[in-house]
Structure 1
Amino acid sequence: MAIVLFTDFGAEGPYLGQMESVIAEIAADCRVINLLSNAPKSDPLLSSYLLAAMAKDFPVGTVFLAVVDPGVGGERSAVVLEADGRFFVGPDNGLLNTAAVHASQRRWFEIIWRPQRWSTSFHGRDIFAPVAARLAVNSADDDDLQPYQQSLHGWAKDLQRVIYFDHYGNAMTGIRFDDHWNGETLQVNGRSIKQADTFSDVQEGEAFWYNNSSGLIEIAANKDCARNRLSLRLRDEVGRCLE
């Protein structure tokens, strides 16, 4: 069984290690995979579409410990989503919603368990990590979780915005690629961007879009930084060119 970390903590600092330490105490034999530690900072909406796209490639039974939680310590609930046999543990702030709307079967639970001592500012370590570890070793019970009602009304399966920049400056969008997008020209920041299958199909420095390895539409530039070349920012709108 694997526990997959998806956070906006960044690679530096103690936070990832502190969560891994908690997991090791409860589920020492489980593999811990740090999938992403630079999710869009304090932005559960954008992170939600990124998480859903990346999670689909993991096997049934995987537990995702997802923490992008600017409202930690506030009124939002701590929840578990079971979606098509995968488990997502995190805050009820929209972060898990895209995985839920993509699933054919889903169940929600509220985390009612609390440790004797816990920080109001680090639920990732003190609440989410212990529950994720218990789920991974099948030791979570009715004292930990209770059924939870969640409305996904109005939550779109795709988001036509830039949601993430990778190390190279490529811009992932929240749009899942399908045949309806084949051959389309995208519009972003007043620029028209054509489709290509791969980087070598365009000239050096030329921007293009393609179907990336996570099944999302991604904007890139051959041997260049699309983020800088196109002056892209997170949440920039991306749509079909109407010309």
Structure 2
Amino acid sequence: MSKNLVLQTDFGLSDGAVSAMYGVAISVDPDIRIFNLTHDIPQYNIWEASYRLYQTVRYWPEETVFVSVVDPGVGTERLSVVVKTGENQYIVTPDNGTLTHINNSVGILEARVIDEKVNRLPNSGESYTFHGRDVYAFTGARLASNTISFEEVGPVVDVENIIELTKPKASKDGEVIRGNIDILDVRFGNLWTNINRELFKETGVEYGDSLEVTIENNTRHIYKSIMRFGRSFAESRIGEPLVFVNSVDKLGVALNQGSFANAYHIETGANWKISIRKVPNNL
């Protein structure tokens, strides 16, 4: 193993929860290298936890171990699992939908249920509300440090039985591309859609073309305007909207040096729909 351990939670950093996970991992092996993916996942937001793994995992070396804890079902019968991805990395997480984007992108080769009789922090058996520390950080550190092998995590579970969230697909309807707003580029307020670049290019759109962008929440009309398809933000004026290709090769919508999400009160999820069509540049 690489001894790289990457942590993601919805715990925030205002108390000792993440620090406790660090302490458990270092107690397993003081040479382990611990990194933060993020601890700012919105509380209980399994969808965002799944997306942030998808956004990040493929850029880490093989055998990196990720621990993702967004776990509204902690203490219930939901399973705790470790999966091996199609790019030879490992993810330790509750089986609650957190693996949705990974399974649909890089794929899952094998999954194992964590055997808590072996892979649980000693003397923590009466705790049912902090599996991030007692089960996930402990198991992830043992795996990353070669204290245990993947086979020693626990029994195999069928990958087809791993829980997935509903994941809408983008579509092409004539000259119109329809999709959803998957997530926000939080700090800058850009909208990240589920429309991939290849599907978008099927409409014959080129950089500099004008696009009509419509956003709806369920059946409620939220936004409609014409903007340019830009290669970079510098191709638009400050405060001007644009469509661009983001860092995961999907279409994004932004305000140059502004927050599109805040300006138009846009949120994310299956009910937030976006449609894009090319219009003549002189409109």
Secondary structure at 1:54 match in 2:
helix
Report the equivalent of 2:137.
Answer: 129
Confirm or deny: 8 A CA contact 2:102 2:108 kept in the other structure.
no
Q: Which runs of 5+ in 1 are unaligned?
A: none
- Correspondence for 1:208 among 242, 245, 256: 242
Task: Indicate whether 1:24 and 2:26 are aligned.
Answer: yes
Q: How does 1:16-55 map to 2 (within 5 A)?
A: 16-55=18-57
State the alpha-carbon separation in 2 of the partners of residues 35 and 154 from structure 1.
21
Report the equivalent of 1:97.
Answer: 100
Report the equivalent of 2:81.
Answer: 79
Aligned length: 242
Deviations 1:10-39 (A, max 9, x none): 232211111111111113212111111112
Confirm or deny: 8 A CA contact 1:4 1:64 kept in the other structure.
yes
TM-aligned CA distance change 1:186 to 1:134, over 3 Å = farther
State the alpha-carbon separation in 2 of the partners of residues 222 and 154 from structure 1.
32
Report the equivalent of 1:149.
Answer: 158
Confirm or deny: 8 A CA contact 1:8 1:37 kept in the other structure.
yes
Report the equivalent of 1:240.
Answer: 275
Task: Indicate whether 1:170 and 2:187 are aligned.
Answer: no
Q: Which runs of 5+ in 2 are unaligned?
A: 171-179, 206-210, 216-221, 279-283
Task: Indicate whether 1:198 and 2:232 are aligned.
Answer: yes
Confirm or deny: 8 A CA contact 2:66 2:90 kept in the other structure.
yes
Which is worse superposed, 114-123 or 93-102? 114-123
State the alpha-carbon separation in 2 of the partners of residues 97 and 227 from structure 1.
25
Confirm or deny: 8 A CA contact 1:164 1:234 kept in the other structure.
yes
Between structure 1 and structure 2, the one with the greater Rg is 2
TM-aligned CA distance change 1:186 to 1:137, over 3 Å = farther
State the alpha-carbon separation in 2 of the partners of residues 16 and 241 from structure 1.
41
Which is worse superposed, 227-236 or 3-12? 227-236
Aligned identity (percent) is 26
State the alpha-carbon separation in 2 of the partners of residues 209 and 41 from structure 1.
29
Task: Indicate whether 1:187 and 2:214 are aligned.
Answer: yes
TM-aligned CA distance change 1:96 to 1:143, over 3 Å = same
State the alpha-carbon separation in 1 of the partners of residues 137 and 93 from structure 2.
9
Which is worse superposed, 188-197 or 64-73? 188-197
**Normalization by structure 2: what TM-score?**
0.76
Deviations 1:93-129 (A, max 9, x none): 0001221222255111100123432421111011000
**Normalization by structure 1: what TM-score?**
0.87
TM-aligned CA distance change 1:195 to 1:8, over 3 Å = farther
Secondary structure at 2:272 match in 1:
coil
